[in-house]
Structure 1
């Protein structure tokens, strides 16, 4: 009887496949990112035209390995170590600010040199926050839904993390991290009045940060009217808007963009979407938006399915990643088209930026793992021996 059960189990595992639709969407964004980063950066260094493209390809290679590793580790392991990983992330955020440890570039200290690699701890903190909050919402479900203290406790730690990130400074990552956390807490059952109160307080805090910081206030002013000072404070946004205007419906053709060559700064990172708009037109931008929309939909669909099957931690992790990827893509695209004030934030899976690519690939791998376990039938009531490292 046991042999027959083992055979049935083996056959079931052979039938289980990873979500090829999610893999295809992520691969399409990564592939398009390679093409567009090459197009936007080949002219930048006369002596080494492949510098940025080579580093981008290395980051994708590491990211794909990280994605594969995430598909091999059971989700329950992340639930077990989520809190510890969060405090490890806090430690890394502190180390970034230690003189002699953190590396400064363009007026910001965001990286820790690790050999030839620069570790950006704020990027990995996005993963750790989702793990921590998902575990907290599972452990404190009743407290979160019924008591204000259940909502306040995780927010204290999140505010501490955001303060450390703001000291780098990194306003864009802070906004994404806070918005993701608030969205996840709302999905976890936080009463609407508490949620509304915190959003109000966050709005006041962010407004204060803008008002007391001259460069942030200048960014808001240039956002409202970039053409008032198109050669100085409104330069980035005005050049991005020109790029979109030149692209029209179908673009000027791959590699034929002008803005990336002489005018648009950070064309291969923060403003890669403007390059896409110029060279691939409205059609190209809509394809990118559709791919991101599909990934976010799959994340929430996987999360909803996990919740129906009683896997609440997996559900919150999937929804958290959906929120994070969707919000960061929305903010980046919004900045490029003038919908939001200019801030340094990459486009997930597309823009040049090693840490961003690696972390986004890891998030996709975790979504694939959750879907795999759901298909395999691994859940809270599963046989521990069957659940442990299933599919590894």
Structure 2
């Protein structure tokens, strides 16, 4: 691996590896009691998460071997395929329903959460669109609206699942990419305003969303009902203090905090590793976002608009999702079903995030060594 094109960004590689490693350790710790009680297999969730991590690394290696030009060429087809899968999820007998939500496609022993796939496909599609219409977005309002039409269909299908959290992440990421791609500030502000009004309307018309918002505002008003999950998460933070109660010593994972190894893993990190551990995770995500945006900026300066937008989109997507998840765990945001990237239990999320980060490394490689970018990675 002496070829300079294989000299990966060391800071990005360290942040990614550290987050993945900490995530595996904490999934094991947070799930061991639940797995033993429900399945009589204490390491059930850890073993599956480790297997998903290995699959994710294999997929990442495959993705990093493919030239960006290939992804750009098939970008529209990828998004159309994603929309088709979103439709399949809603068809009775095909999609799998869990807790009242139809979000999964059964694929043998595993289930594919299509929303995770759509996040990546949307970024690739918008990056291709911005490459093809480079320099035109600031002069035409229609050029900004055009790519939002197909994504609006995907957003509607996500709402029907329902999965408002993924919809907000996707649309927010896309709007940020359009702004970075040249959309005027007044157009960007208008679209943000429209999204804000739609969000408020969606919350108002759905009683369960309004209830979530109310319980978020004052979870202690109903600590054993609608505010139960958030109050238990806050108790976990309170118990953590500076250095935590010790790895594996969490009390909240003992059937107090629901979804401790998935959406609320960060609360267990705060309880077992304390403020130091919780801040370490935030710093690692900060390093990841910083390097993603720096890679995007370098690609943009090199004239590689598609690669730059891929890097910007992945950095914004994973950074935003991490902020939302951490904010929910800390009681700063209403509860949403979004995983903590690279860390929360979940095969679809982990594998697709690994694939996205591989594309980020590919952008960096093609920016640094463009003349060798067409060569396939080899040992």
Give 1:163's aligned residue.
156
Which residue does 1:324 correspond to in 2?
Answer: 317
CA contact 1:103–1:110 (8 Å) conserved in 2: yes
- Give 1:333's match in structure 2, choosing from 326, 344, 354: 326
Q: Would you say the 8 A contact 2:238–2:271 is kept in 1?
A: yes
Per the TM alignment, residue 140 of structure 1 is displaced from its structure 2 partner at its CA by 1.3
Alignment of 1:7-18 (within 5 A): 13-14=3-4, 16-18=6-8
Alignment-derived partner of residue 31 in structure 1: 21
Q: Is residue 2:180 matched to residue 1:187?
A: yes
Superposition TM-score, scaled by structure 1 size = 0.93
CA distance 1:250–1:94, shift in 2 (3 Å): same
**Is the counterpart of residue 292 in structure 1 residue 285 in structure 2?**
yes
Query: How far off is 1:20 after superposition?
Result: 2.7
Pair 217,14 (structure 1): closer, same or farther in 2 beyond 3 Å: closer
Question: Is 2:10 the partner of 1:20?
Answer: yes
Counterpart in the other structure of 1:71:
64
Contact 1:247–1:281 (8 Å) recurs in 2: yes
Counterpart position of 1:388: 374
Q: CA deviation at 1:301?
A: 0.5
Structure 1: gaps of 5 or more residues: 1-9, 379-385
From 237, 240, 253, the equivalent of 1:260 is 253
Structure 2 counterparts to residues 76-155 of structure 1, below 5 A: 76-155=69-148
TM-score by length of 2: 0.96
Aligned partners of 1:16 and 1:375 also within 8 Å: no
Take 2:339 and 2:5, find their aligned partners in 1: how far apart are those partners? Answer: 37
Deviation at 1:133, TM superposition (A): 0.3
Question: Which is greater in Rg?
Answer: 1
- How many residues get paired? 375
Structure 2 alignment gaps of length 5 or more:
none
Q: Which moved more, 1:366-375 or 1:81-90?
A: 366-375
Deviations 1:229-279 (A, max 9, x none): 111011111110110011011101001110111310000000000000000
Residue 16 of structure 1 contacts residue 376 of structure 1 at CA under 8 Å; is this kept in 2? no
- Taking the aligned partners of 1:92 and 1:142, their CA distance within structure 2 comes to 33
Distance 1:241 1:377, change over 3 A: same
CA distance in 1, matches of 2:366, 2:8: 9
Structure 1 vs Structure 2 CA RMSD: 1.4
* Alignment of structure 1 residues 352-391 onto 2, 5 Å: 352-378=345-371, 387-391=373-377
Q: Which string of whole-angstrom CA distances, capped at 9 and with x for unpartnered residues, describes residues 2-54 of structure 1?
A: xxxxxxxx98x357512232122111111111110011111113312121111
The corresponding residue for 1:54 is 47
Residues 63 and 355 in structure 2, CA contact (< 8 A), matched pair in contact too = yes
Rounded Cα–Cα distance in structure 1 between residues aligned with 2:164 and 2:243 = 34
Q: 2:200 aligns with which of 186, 207, 218?
A: 207
Distance 1:15 1:107 in 2: 47
> Alpha-carbon deviation of 1:176?
0.6
